């Protein structure tokens, strides 16, 4: 984000590190009995804001208390926004199209089928933007080592997921989420599913773009970290060996005198 725009967004939209949703590594899919539960490891393996930013995620704290939106509006015109934070996103980032939906067993026809479809791993050829107006749910995103990170989004959270990141979505046990999605121009919301189709998602241009921008730097950083840890371990072993030699010296001298 260019400097000037970042400043504007910071003043209007409260770009803050400490307000980010909680995130954690989730158990592998074969251990998930219910997608709507937290599915944490024991002990919990938290993921911090720096790590989420390194995946290309962005977060804004919105005012979901003082500004209301329809239960369903497909599409919803962002020009109608009176909320200064939504208006700032619209004007500064160019979001010209939006829709508003409520995901709840009584409010979304075919709820169970749709919830299962949202939970299929996929990518998009554009950024994904979700504003949680009410309720809560989980975004799952893959890290560059293909591990699932679960992010608990709640009322007032607006998150963006970069083009090409593998992800999926589910309601939590509350089974209620009122959300807005936005797009620059008329969108194609259709997911490009990773499995179950002929599509080569790893070879998709959007995926390749994501890998170059986010996965390669992550993996390089990890290599550097492992190399540094290896060096440290070697230095500690060398020091220990040297100490053993020095400790043995008086005993050897004594043996020499006695001999
Ligand atoms: Fe998506």
Q: What is the pLDDT of residue 197?
A: 85
Please report which confidence band the pLDDT of residue 31 belongs to, taking 50, 70 and 90 as the band edges. very high
Report how far Cα 145 is from the mean position of its chain's Cα atoms: 13
Task: Assess whether pLDDT exceeds 60 at residue 259.
Answer: no
Task: Assess whether pLDDT exceeds 90 at residue 177.
Answer: yes
For ligand 1, the distance from its centroid to the CA atom of residue 159, given in whole angstroms, is: 12
Range in 8-12, 75-79, 112-116, 223-227 the model is least confident about: 8-12
Work out the average pLDDT over 2-25. Answer: 68
Task: Assess whether pLDDT exceeds 80 at residue 6.
Answer: no
Task: Assess whether pLDDT exceeds 70 at residue 250.
Answer: no
For ligand 1, the distance from its centroid to the CA atom of residue 248, given in whole angstroms, is: 65
State the first-to-last Cα distance of the chain, in angstroms, to the nearest integer: 77
For ligand 1, the distance from its centroid to the CA atom of residue 79, given in whole angstroms, is: 24
Q: Which of 102, 99, 117, 119 is nearest to 181 (CA)?
A: 99
Please report which confidence band the pLDDT of residue 244 belongs to, taking 50, 70 and 90 as the band edges. confident
For ligand 1, the distance from its centroid to the CA atom of residue 252, given in whole angstroms, is: 71
CB 150 within 8 A of CB 45: no
For ligand 1, the distance from its centroid to the CA atom of residue 220, given in whole angstroms, is: 27
Burial-class residue 189 by CB neighbours within 10 Å (0-12, 13-18, 19+): exposed
For ligand 1, the distance from its centroid to the CA atom of residue 176, given in whole angstroms, is: 18
Give kind and range of the element (H or E) at residue 193. strand 192-193
**CA dist list (Å): 100 to 55, 113, 183, 192:** 26, 19, 12, 22
CATH topology of domain 3-199: Jelly Rolls (2.60.120)
Phi, psi torsion values for 232, nearest 5 degrees: -60, -45
For ligand 1, the distance from its centroid to the CA atom of residue 164, given in whole angstroms, is: 10
More confident residue, 193 or 247: 193
Q: What is the pLDDT of residue 2?
A: 47
For ligand 1, the distance from its centroid to the CA atom of residue 126, given in whole angstroms, is: 10
Q: Which of 20, 15, 131, 10 is nearest to 68 (CA)?
A: 131
Per mean pLDDT, which of 61-75, 163-177, 183-197 is the most reliable?
163-177
Buried b (16+ CB within 10 A) or exposed e, 148-177: bbbbebbebbbbbbbbbbbbbbbbbeebbb
Q: What is the pLDDT of residue 77?
A: 92
As a whole number of angstroms, the distance between CA 15 and CA 160 comes to 13
pLDDT tens digits for range 120-133 = 999 999 999 999 99
For ligand 1, the distance from its centroid to the CA atom of residue 4, given in whole angstroms, is: 29
For ligand 1, the distance from its centroid to the CA atom of residue 167, given in whole angstroms, is: 6
Work out the average pLDDT over 156-185. Answer: 95
What is the residue-averaged pLDDT of the chain?
A: 89
Please report which confidence band the pLDDT of residue 16 belongs to, taking 50, 70 and 90 as the band edges. low
Task: Assess whether pLDDT exceeds 90 at residue 56.
Answer: yes
CA dihedral 212, 213, 218, 219 (to 10 degrees): 10
**Residue 116, C-beta contacts closer than 8 angstroms, at least 6 positions apart:** none
Please report which confidence band the pLDDT of residue 255 belongs to, taking 50, 70 and 90 as the band edges. low
Q: What is the pLDDT of residue 5?
A: 54
For ligand 1, the distance from its centroid to the CA atom of residue 58, given in whole angstroms, is: 15
Enumerate the domain spans of the chain: 3-199
What is the percent of the chain where pLDDT is above 70? 89
């Amino acid at each position: 984000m260019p400097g000037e725009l970042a400043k504007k967004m910071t003043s209007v939209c409260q770009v803050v590190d400490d307000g980010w949703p909680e995130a954690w590594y989730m158990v592998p899919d074969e251990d998930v009995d219910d997608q709507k539960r937290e599915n944490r490891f024991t002990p919990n393996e938290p993921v911090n804001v720096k790590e989420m930013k390194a995946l290309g995620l962005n977060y804004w704290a919105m005012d979901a208390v003082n500004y209301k939106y329809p239960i369903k509006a497909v599409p919803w015109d962002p020009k109608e926004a009176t909320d200064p934070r939504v208006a700032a996103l619209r004007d500064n980032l160019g979001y010209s199209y939006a829709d508003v939906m409520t995901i709840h067993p009584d409010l979304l026809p075919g709820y169970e089928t749709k919830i299962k479809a949202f939970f299929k791993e996929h990518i998009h050829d554009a950024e994904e933007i979700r504003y949680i107006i009410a309720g809560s749910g989980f975004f799952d995103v893959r890290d560059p080592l293909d591990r699932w990170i679960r992010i608990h989004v709640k009322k007032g959270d607006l998150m963006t997921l970069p083009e090409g990141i593998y992800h999926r979505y589910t309601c939590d046990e509350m089974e209620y989420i009122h959300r807005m999605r936005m797009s620059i121009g008329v969108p194609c919301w259709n997911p490009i599913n990773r499995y179950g189709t002929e599509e080569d998602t790893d070879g998709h241009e959007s995926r390749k773009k994501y890998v170059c921008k986010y996965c390669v730097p992550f993996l390089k950083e990890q290599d550097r970290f492992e190399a540094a840890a290896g060096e440290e371990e070697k230095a500690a072993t060398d020091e220990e060996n040297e100490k053993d030699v020095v400790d043995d010296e008086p005993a050897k001298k004594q043996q020499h005198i006695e001999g």
